[in-house]
Chains A and B, each alone.
Chain A
Amino acid sequence: MNPNKIMIIEDDPIIQTELKNLLIGNGYEVSVLSDFLNPVANIKKYNPHLIILDIKLPYINGFSICSEIRSFSDMPIIFVTSSDTDMDELNSIMLGGDAFITKPYHTAILLAKITSLLKRIYHTKQCMDYHWQGAVLHLENSSLEYNNQKAELTKNELKILSYLFKNAGKICTRTDIIDDLWDNQLYIDDNALSVNINRIRDKLKEIGLNHFIQTKHRQGYLI
């Protein structure tokens, strides 16, 4: 499946680089616009699936770029800006932007918006399963399958396992897991994490999956 292409139109060099790294790390193909004098030509050439557009840019205003894009394409545009005045938000909507995020943004929220926009506009069927060592994590119905046996998972358990599966083969620190859960509005603390991991292990044992989650002493968990 071809990765979705995202184009970043932003003038700050650090944000350009880091945003690109963030998106690539989440499986997207990314291009950063460098020629602010001919933005539209470059956009047409790269033909991205989605654009992240800063309003305040050199030479040209983000809103005008948006209007120009809208003259030939319906691709989703996410406006990003430091200013949070309502005029900006209104303009974004009226000129055809699909979302409006203020800096500094929560990256989890930005990523979630990108995913939902892509799903909505391109009707891409998201891969709803993670596979690892014979186990299949079904996100849609919140369960883990192994050897044709299924274990039902709670919201917390599903999120923890998603994180472990996404980083399969790598050690995930407790703090990173807690961080990820908090980004998804699941506010667990350190103790709750241990409790949840143990519960997951019990459930996995019931379907014959032993020692799936390893504890790396003082470092974290690993699958």
Chain B
Amino acid sequence: MNKKLYFKNLLPSFLLQILCMLLLSLFLLAVGNSFDSILFILFTWIGIDFIITSFACQKRKKELEKLLQLQEQLKEQYLIPELMKIPERADDQVFYFLLKTAEKSMLEQIDQIRRERMEYKEYIEQWIHEIKTPITAIKLLCENNRSPFTRDLLTELEKITRFTEQALYYARSEHTEKDYSIHEIRLFDIVHRAISDNKYLLIKNNVTIEITESDDLVFSDEKWVQFILNQIIINAIQYRTKQPKIHIYAKQQANQVCLFIKDNGIGISADDLPRVFEKGFTGKNGRIRQNATGIGLYLCKRLCNKLEIGLDLTSDTNGTVILLSFYINHFICQVQ
């Protein structure tokens, strides 16, 4: 609270009092009181006034500062009326009512937007669910009638599947509470599935796959991990050099299982490196190579954060290494 302004606001009241003091002094003088007694009255008056006004100012300032602090600590600052005591002054009460009404209207708006978003997300999930049937039909048709033509179709179909999966996980990454479940899974089973998902693209681009397999078990959601691996593999293909190679291996370190996905691609420049997980970031190389949406790694980071998987990147002109770290939780093992 601005102290200067507070006293400035009291100026009319002070001026009025000075006027009254003057009038009283003149009257007392007129009825025969001595100067001394008048001065005594005036000093007492001014003294009491000064002390009380200062105290009132301090008290008011403290109260209001508390309120300001309260609001600062709130994540949703529009909820401040809930934490306030109903003010005692008549004019303050009007302002309180204004705040409360504003809060209510805000909450209604937020609620409506949340509902609309939820409905849209459900629509997307439903759409993706439905589209999988014709995709499956096309896949079966192609696999039952193998020819170079159907091979090309299957490659394009892989792309379609990739984009629908990405849309699904984008929708899910925003509201994750009910959409994932943790089980014990064999890491390399998922690695193989992710490679299989991108089979045609990998073969077409002559990518050599080297897998140093191990039987590591981790606790996570297998579908999500599969999606994350898919994104990483797609990036490795997209930013490849001649004779592309992807090496996947795992290491146990302290209380973690670390999965390494190493490629020999064109790498990520040092300037771009800190920004790769930003939404929509395509980087220097992304603009040269086509089809960079900038969403892939952003989604991976989000999903990894939700699942508490560590996601790290190192890169130079010889290639990129992506590291997924899974914590081994011994408590879960015991429960099982």
Instruction: State the A residues within 8 Å of B (CB).
Output: 12, 14-15, 18-19, 21-22, 25, 82-86, 102-109, 175-176, 178-179, 182-183, 185, 187, 189-190
Q: Is there contact, CB below 8 Å, between A104 and B144? A: no
Q: Is there contact, CB below 8 Å, between B192 and A22? A: no
Q: Shortest CB–CB separation between residue B27 and chain A, in angstroms? A: 89
Chain B contributes a number of interface residues (CB within 8 A of A) equal to 33
Q: Is there contact, CB below 8 Å, between A107 and B146? A: no
Interface of B is mostly: helix
Instruction: State the B residues within 8 Å of A (CB).
Output: 128-130, 132-137, 139-141, 143-144, 146, 148, 151, 161, 179, 181, 192-193, 195-196, 199, 202-203, 206-209, 211, 223
Q: Shortest CB–CB separation between residue A180 and chain B, in angstroms? A: 11
Give bound CA distance, A103 to B132, whole Å: 6
Q: A12-B136, A107-B140, A182-B195 are in contact. List 17 more A-B contacts (CB 8 A).
A: A15-B136, A21-B144, A82-B132, A82-B136, A84-B223, A103-B132, A104-B161, A107-B143, A182-B196, A182-B199, A183-B196, A183-B199, A185-B192, A187-B208, A187-B211, A189-B206, A190-B206
Give bound CA distance, A22 to B136, whole Å: 13
| List of A residues within 8 angstroms of B196 by Cβ | 106, 108-109, 182-183
Interface of A is mostly: helix
Q: Is there contact, CB below 8 Å, between A19 and B132? A: no
Could you list some 7 contacts between A and B, CB below 8 A? A12-B133, A82-B136, A182-B195, A183-B196, A189-B206, A189-B207, A189-B208
| List of B residues within 8 angstroms of A84 by Cβ | 223
- The residue in chain A whose Cβ has the minimal distance to the Cβ of B204 is A175
Q: Is there contact, CB below 8 Å, between B192 and A104? A: no
| List of A residues within 8 angstroms of B179 by Cβ | 85
Instruction: Report if A187-B143 is in contact (Cβ < 8 Å); known contacts: A103-B132, A104-B161, A182-B199.
Output: no
Give bound CA distance, A84 to B192, whole Å: 19
Number of A-B contacts (CB under 8 A): 77
| List of A residues within 8 angstroms of B223 by Cβ | 84
- The residue in chain A whose Cβ has the minimal distance to the Cβ of B129 is A82
| List of A residues within 8 angstroms of B139 by Cβ | 104, 107
Give bound CA distance, A183 to B143, whole Å: 12
Q: Shortest CB–CB separation between residue B140 and chain A, in angstroms? A: 3
Centre residue among B137, B148, B181, B223 by max chain A CB count within 10 A: B137
